[in-house]
Structure 1
Amino acid sequence: MSEFQFLMPDAGEGLTEAEVVSWRVAPGDTVELNQVLLEIETAKSLVELPSPYEGTVSAILVEEGTTVDVGTPIITISAAADETELGAPATAAVGPSDVDAEAAEAVADTRSSIDEEKSGAVLVGYGNAGAVTSRRRRARTDAAPPAAQAASAPTPSGPVIAKPPIRKLAKDLGVDLRLVAGTGIGGEVTRDDVVREAGQASVFRNIETPDWAETREDRIPVKGVRKQIANAMVESAFKAPHVSLFVDVDATRTMEFIKRLKNSTDFAGVKVSPLLIMAKAMIWAVRRNPTVNATWTDDEIIVRHYVNFGVAAATPRGLIVPNVKEAQSMSLLQLAQSLEQLTLTARDGKTPPADQQGGTITVTNIGVFGMDTGTPILNPGEVAIVALGTIKQKPWVVDGEVRPRFVTTLGASFDHRVVDGDVASRFLADVASIIEEPALLLD
């Protein structure tokens, strides 16, 4: 028998520490190749670490909730010498202190690919005897058998008409379809019905005011994502000179366009919201005002001719800004699908580090919280961010007459070192013009 120690990895982000969130194994457990051993939290995301060996867990060296430096031993696994994978030396404690970027991204994407010709670095005990490609299997330790799941599922009191994607959405949001009044044809439950029910349930939960805690204070450690958010916001606010602009917009035609998309068979089962049109509008406006899609260095301004579109997302772990890569090349349907997947992944707290890096411009949708507008802080490394406020009916003058229209307010902040006032104004005016008339996207 040989014992192998695993060291806390860097996960490819250049970080110096990570927190052990949860162990999926215990001493004495038999582990399979690629079985998830534990989940760690870095300053940017949750990452599952797989086992490169088959063997038995000898010892857990770090308790859950403990933050340790990269390179610290965290677990020991015993394996028969002739059963170890990759031929790693049994006496060596291996760790990824110099993991290459390709391997780091592989961890986040639940697969690993290490090429000895590119680097002699090793990833969490994978060894360096040759190139290896593997896909780890997701552990299902808490999943109930199909029969048990069927037995525990609620039996509807009447027929519920809903397409499979809508049923999945309801399940993801914790919505009981029996309680949803369908507004579709023949009483079919639509995506809007499910989202509305989930929102109402959230509001009702917030109406109840909790009792004061017995303790007079709560002390929350500043670490992980919260620490990263704090550092990033301070750096952005005090390093980049912000200038902000605001504009009210008649979004009635955008709301009509969204309604048509929802009724389109091409968008069946795909979430369509004002955020989709907002994203397309910003991408269109970037092409006309490219310097808002730049980054500042002390020596030069780098203008990117591609758009990695970031969306500020409030998650259980805090604020993160994942981005859709190469959004400028996507159709409206592809962009809708990408934004939906990005949102669902963020909500589950599973956004990989690669999806949070390389953003070029960001939107923050504060309208979902009922806010009209705000002054957003730039995402570090970017020079423009737009806040989309709530869209609601207000009196609006149309052709000399006051009419009820769907109105929103756009707020934007820019890095004044890069973006002059005229460029910032033209960019925001272009975004507003698309929200007012989405047909301009066909131009």
Structure 2
Amino acid sequence: MPQYKSFPLPDTAEGLTEAEILSWHVQPGDEVTVNQIIVEIETAKAAVELPCPWAGVVTELHVRPGDTVTVGTPILTIDTDPGGAAAPAPAPAAAAPAEEEMKPLVGYGSKTVTAKRRARKGPAVPAEPAAAAVQEQVGQAFTSTNGSAPAAVRPAPAQPEPAAAGGYVPLAKPPVRKLAKDLGVDLRSLTGTGADGVITREDVQQAASAPEQAAAPVATRGGERRVPIKGVRKMTAQAMVSSAFTAPHVTEFLTVDVTPMMELRARLKNHREFRDVRLTPLAFCARAVTMAIKRTPEVNAAWDEAAQEIVYKDYVHLGIAAATPRGLIVPKVRDAERMSLRELAVALDELTTTAREGKTPPGDMVNGTFTITNVGVFGVDTGTPIINPGESAILAFGAIRDMPWVVDGDIKVRKVCQLALSFDHRLVDGQQGSEFLADVGALLADPGMAMTF
């Protein structure tokens, strides 16, 4: 007889509580194999593809693309024994025909499709109790092998339905929804040109390139545009508010002549060990930070409020703030203190490329010890960065500019940048913060100082 197993949303990262369903890679009636990718989700940190732990036939999708789901909530059901012996025949009123006419979930288009799945076994289950049963499964075991299908939320009709914000859920396929999200286009502001009003990729691309030509938003007033707070933006907001109102921030600034560093960078580009490496000023900054931490370990410590302890760390998991289409994330370079300048350059290049592609694993964005935010890439001189929760300091690395500078009593044009260090005054005293910032500045102003560290 059929063996139904429900797949709950797993915790893909430490402390994950919810995630948004981006797109389904399977539909009811599809056969799946072990480790086949079945769904793409967006956590508060990254987009993640989830594999299937079983082989079988998909019988139900319990959530739609765009839904935010709590960890532990069943998101689909699979029959792992579709060829098993038949169960007792259900009552005629409850039986679903073998070639049942099913309307797809909102976002998959409005055409009716023929579901290629086996007739459903077991007693009839009303829609409302089914939804309640799904809620009761939150946090329960992965499987249900009693021979009857677990209660499930039925697929919604394809026509637009009221949205929480008072507008309507637009018709668009999951890849189109993802494209719109990446380009910052509100689907509710568009009129679909596809069959039955479905929004197409061309509709989204046209709106992104000429937003003034897009249809007026349905759920807006007075030129406003409302976007749900979720995903990376929600995580960033919670973290920054928690840090700003928990750790007493102090920010210090230092202007540095980095001409010697830039000259060394130019020479190293022709060195055989660096010819195939993208050697950026950020790599020099990262190397200076890891060396300076050895002399001021307080900036690499953590405040444990629950245990009433200060945790000093002998390793440096260096966070690099990276701007991505999904928002700001901070992936980590693990054990950065053990890396040479070349190794750091390679690691930073790989880290930023992966982050911009939205492929950073959730595990790479937790347990950092110190962060650098490179505001210089945006042409910004400096700022007052907010410390990441669980850390004690963050360094802003500003733009490198040609500026007048006094050298041996003469004014010359030099390469100059500004540094800003924010630190938690519970852990780091003013003297310690100042010494650390001065060490970083000294290493950038004269890389030869590294010989003395």
> Under a length normalisation based on structure 2, what TM-score does the superposition of the two structures give?
0.69
Q: Distance in 2 between matches of 1:67 and 1:209?
A: 30
2:381 is aligned with 1:372: yes
Q: Is the 8 A contact 1:9 1:96 kept in 2?
A: no
1:393 aligns with 402
Going from structure 1 to structure 2, the CA distance change for 1:25 and 1:33 (only over 3 Å counts) comes to same
2:299 aligns with 292
2:318 aligns with 309
Kindly state the Cα deviation for residue 239 of structure 1 after the two structures are TM-superposed: 0.9
**Of 261, 267, 276, which residue of structure 1 is paired with 2:274?**
267
Q: Distance in 2 between matches of 1:52 and 1:325?
A: 29
Aligned length: 332
Structure 1 range deviating more: 285-294 or 2-11: 2-11
1:26 aligns with 27
1:110-160 deviation line (CA, Å, top 9, x unaligned): xxxxxxxxxxxx7x6699xxxxxxxxxxxxxx9xxxxxxxxxxxxxxxxxx
2:229 is aligned with 1:230: no
**Of 348, 351, 363, which residue of structure 2 is paired with 1:339?**
348
Going from structure 1 to structure 2, the CA distance change for 1:125 and 1:333 (only over 3 Å counts) comes to farther
1:153-174 deviation line (CA, Å, top 9, x unaligned): xxxxxxxxxxxxxxxxxxxxxx
**Of 246, 249, 256, which residue of structure 1 is paired with 2:253?**
246
Kindly state the Cα deviation for residue 53 of structure 1 after the two structures are TM-superposed: 2.0
2:453 is aligned with 1:439: no
Kindly state the Cα deviation for residue 12 of structure 1 after the two structures are TM-superposed: 4.3
Instruction: Give the residue type in structure 2 aligned to 1:241.
Output: P
Q: Distance in 2 between matches of 1:125 and 1:52?
A: 11
Kindly state the Cα deviation for residue 29 of structure 1 after the two structures are TM-superposed: 2.3
1:386-429 deviation line (CA, Å, top 9, x unaligned): 10000011111111111111100001101011111111111000
Tell me the secondary structure at the aligned position of residue 267 of structure 1.
Answer: coil
1:404 aligns with 413
Tell me the secondary structure at the aligned position of residue 415 of structure 2.
Answer: strand
Q: Is the 8 A contact 1:9 1:97 kept in 2?
A: no
Q: Is the 8 A contact 1:10 1:96 kept in 2?
A: no
2:94 aligns with none
Q: Distance in 2 between matches of 1:379 and 1:399?
A: 40
1:13 aligns with 14
**Of 420, 426, 429, which residue of structure 1 is paired with 2:429?**
420
Tell me the secondary structure at the aligned position of residue 364 of structure 2.
Answer: helix
Going from structure 1 to structure 2, the CA distance change for 1:308 and 1:126 (only over 3 Å counts) comes to farther
Going from structure 1 to structure 2, the CA distance change for 1:237 and 1:38 (only over 3 Å counts) comes to same
Tell me the secondary structure at the aligned position of residue 312 of structure 1.
Answer: strand
Structure having the higher helix fraction is: 1
Q: Distance in 2 between matches of 1:383 and 1:422?
A: 15
2:391 is aligned with 1:382: yes
Kindly state the Cα deviation for residue 212 of structure 1 after the two structures are TM-superposed: 8.0
Q: Percent identity?
A: 51
Kindly state the Cα deviation for residue 30 of structure 1 after the two structures are TM-superposed: 2.3
Q: Distance in 1 between matches of 2:312 and 2:249?
A: 18
Instruction: Give the residue type in structure 1 aligned to 2:363.
Output: A
1:166-211 deviation line (CA, Å, top 9, x unaligned): xxxxxxxxxxxxxxxxxxxxxxxxxxxxxxxxxxxxxxxxxx9963
Q: Distance in 1 between matches of 2:390 and 2:437?
A: 20
Q: Is the 8 A contact 1:3 1:79 kept in 2?
A: yes
1:199-214 to 2 correspondence within 5 Å? 211=212, 214=216
2:289 aligns with 282
2:168 aligns with none
2:227 is aligned with 1:220: yes
Q: What are the ranges of 5 or more consecutive residues in structure 2 without an aligned counterpart?
A: 85-121, 123-133, 146-174, 176-208, 218-222
1:20-59 to 2 correspondence within 5 Å? 20-59=21-60
Tell me the secondary structure at the aligned position of residue 285 of structure 2.
Answer: helix
Instruction: Give the residue type in structure 2 aligned to 1:291.
Output: E
Q: Is the 8 A contact 2:73 2:138 kept in 1?
A: no
Q: Distance in 1 between matches of 2:299 and 2:13?
A: 29
> Under a length normalisation based on structure 1, what TM-score does the superposition of the two structures give?
0.70
Structure 1 range deviating more: 259-268 or 239-248: 259-268
Q: Is the 8 A contact 2:336 2:344 kept in 1?
A: yes
Going from structure 1 to structure 2, the CA distance change for 1:398 and 1:341 (only over 3 Å counts) comes to same
Instruction: Give the residue type in structure 1 aligned to 2:339.
Output: M
2:378 is aligned with 1:358: no
1:70-128 deviation line (CA, Å, top 9, x unaligned): 22221122233789xxxxxxx9x9x9949xxxxxxxxxxxxxxxxxxxxxxx7x6699x
Q: Is the 8 A contact 1:18 1:68 kept in 2?
A: yes
2:262 aligns with 255
Tell me the secondary structure at the aligned position of residue 65 of structure 1.
Answer: coil
Tell me the secondary structure at the aligned position of residue 311 of structure 2.
Answer: strand
Structure 1 range deviating more: 314-323 or 6-15: 6-15
- Aligned alpha-carbon RMSD (Å): 2.6
Q: Is the 8 A contact 1:20 1:40 kept in 2?
A: yes
